Amino acid sequence: MNLSFSHKPLLGSAFALGLLGVAQVPVALAEDDHKHHSGRSSMGTHAGTGNAAHAMDHHGMTHDDGTATAQSRTPIAPITAADRRAAFPHVSGHTLHDSAIRRFFLFEKLEYQDADDGSALNWDAQGWIGGDVDRLVLRSQGERSNGLTEQAEIHAMWGHALNNNWDLVGGVRHDFKPESAQTWAALGAQGTFYNIDIEATGYYGENGQTSARFEATYDLLLTNRLILQPTTEINVYGRNDESRGVGAGLSEIEAGLRLRYEFVRQFAPYIGVNWSRSYDGTANMLREEGEAVEEWRFVAGIRLWF
């Protein structure tokens, strides 16, 4: 525990004398001093005090009245038994709520997407439960299109604040879709860099697959309620997984631009566009199936938190 005592307590003889000699100390109380002043003084009259000390260091300086005293001018009363009783009553400890468990859940995206092959419902949510330093970090994202869940995943991770901007996160990610469910170990960092919110996470899947994801979002204030939000997400995989349609290497880059209006902070409808493109092995698989590797989507949704 650091209490920052710059100096060790110096309770020297001066102090001891002060206590012993209390009764003899002449009293110079505020009231006495009042009588020497009446009416107002201009600012100018202030200037006199303290000038003598200008060139002096803090220690051993003279004070406005000329000298430092050895004993307090205002007598410090000797302690009585009644004082002791009043000073330390038996009470239960003081409580603040500085370590309460709190929670936060945000749907950064909860949107309808106008896709090439119909429409899609897309979500990207995150949240935390915990204190200022250690938290349970939750994330979820997914997509339903034409009544089917195409992709759905959830993260549950322990988050630990490394400094004021960055959290280390580690835990599990579970994919319900695509195809059969799979579970990953997840390790990464999330934080803020030049006001850009960043999540960078690496994954090791139960079947030996490896993956990494990078997400970034930024809020550009057009007004204090009308906010333009560029986002990006990049996914990389270690090896081909043809059943799930991902190939080794850079799999997909997604970028979006959403314009929201915060009626209140918690509730902001938005519209925007989302662009995505597949690369490397993933793109090859798509081409083989005759599907497009690049897609623009118009989006409309609600950003909300609680």
Partner 1 sequence: MQDKILRRTFVKSLAAGGLLAQLGLWHAPLQATGRRHRPAILTGNEFDLLLAQTSVDFAGASHRAMTINGTLPGPTLRWREGDTVTLRVRNRLDAPGSIHWHGILLPANMDGVPGMSFDGIAPGGLYEYHFKVRQHGTYWYHSHSALQEQSGVYGALVIEPSTAEPWHCDRDYVVMLTDWTDENPERVLSKLKKQSDYYNYQQRTVFDFIHDVSEHGWLSTLSERMGWARMTMNPTDISDVSGYTYTYLLNGRAPDDNWTALFQPGEKIRLRFINGSSMTYFDLRIPGLKLTVVAADGQPVEPVEVDELRIAVAETFDVIVEPQAEAYTLFAQSMDRTGHARGTLAVREGLSAAVPEMDPRPVLTMNDVGMHHSDMADSGHGGMDHGSMGGQMQQHPASESHNPLVDMQTLYPQPKLDDPGIGLRDNGRRVLRYADLRSRFADPDGREPGRTLELHLTGNMERFAWSFDGIKFSAAQPLRLKYGERLRITLVNDTMMAHPIHLHGMWSDLEDEHGNFLVRKHTIDMPPGTKRSYRVTADALGRWAYHCHMLYHMEMGMFREVIVDE
Q: Can residue 11 be called a binding residue for partner 1 (CB under 8 A)? A: yes
Beta bridge partners of 236: 212, 250
Of 87-95, 176-184, 204-212, 250-258, which part binds partner 1 (CB under 8 A)?
87-95
Q: Can residue 63 be called a binding residue for partner 1 (CB under 8 A)? A: yes
How many other CB atoms sit within 10 Å of the CB of residue 197?
Answer: 17
Task: Give the whole-angstrom CA distance, residue 65 versus residue 87.
Answer: 33
Contact 254, 273 (CB under 8 A): no
Task: Give the whole-angstrom CA distance, residue 69 versus residue 299.
Answer: 76
- Using DSSP's 3-state secondary structure scheme, residue 83 falls into helix
Minimum CB separation of residue 186 from partner 1 in Å reads 21
Q: Which residues in the 195-234 window bind partner 1 by CB under 8 A?
A: 195, 220-225
> Contact with partner 1 (CB under 8 A): which of 23, 24, 55, 116?
55
Residue partners of 192: CB distance under 8 A and separation at least 6: 165, 166, 198
Task: Give the whole-angstrom CA distance, residue 302 versus residue 109.
Answer: 7
User: Closer to partner 1 at the Cβ: 69 or 151?
Assistant: 69
Q: Can residue 96 be called a binding residue for partner 1 (CB under 8 A)? A: yes
Q: Can residue 7 be called a binding residue for partner 1 (CB under 8 A)? A: yes
Q: Can residue 13 be called a binding residue for partner 1 (CB under 8 A)? A: no
Q: Can residue 57 be called a binding residue for partner 1 (CB under 8 A)? A: yes
Contact 109, 127 (CB under 8 A): no
Q: Can residue 81 be called a binding residue for partner 1 (CB under 8 A)? A: no
> Contact with partner 1 (CB under 8 A): which of 23, 81, 86, 148?
86
Q: H-type helices in 80-190, by residue range? A: 81-87
Minimum CB separation of residue 25 from partner 1 in Å reads 10
CA angle 275, 304, 264 (to 5 degrees): 115
Minimum CB separation of residue 157 from partner 1 in Å reads 17
Q: Which residues in the 133-192 window bind partner 1 by CB under 8 A?
A: 133, 161-165, 192
Q: Can residue 43 be called a binding residue for partner 1 (CB under 8 A)? A: yes
Of 93-101, 115-123, 149-157, 293-301, which part binds partner 1 (CB under 8 A)?
93-101
Q: Can residue 296 be called a binding residue for partner 1 (CB under 8 A)? A: no
Task: Give the whole-angstrom CA distance, residue 176 versus residue 234.
Answer: 20
Output 32-41 pairs: Cβ under 8 A, ≥24 positions apart: none
Q: Can residue 39 be called a binding residue for partner 1 (CB under 8 A)? A: yes
Q: Which residues in the 247-286 window bind partner 1 by CB under 8 A?
A: 265
Of 80-88, 230-238, 247-255, 277-285, which part binds partner 1 (CB under 8 A)?
80-88
226, amino acid identity: L
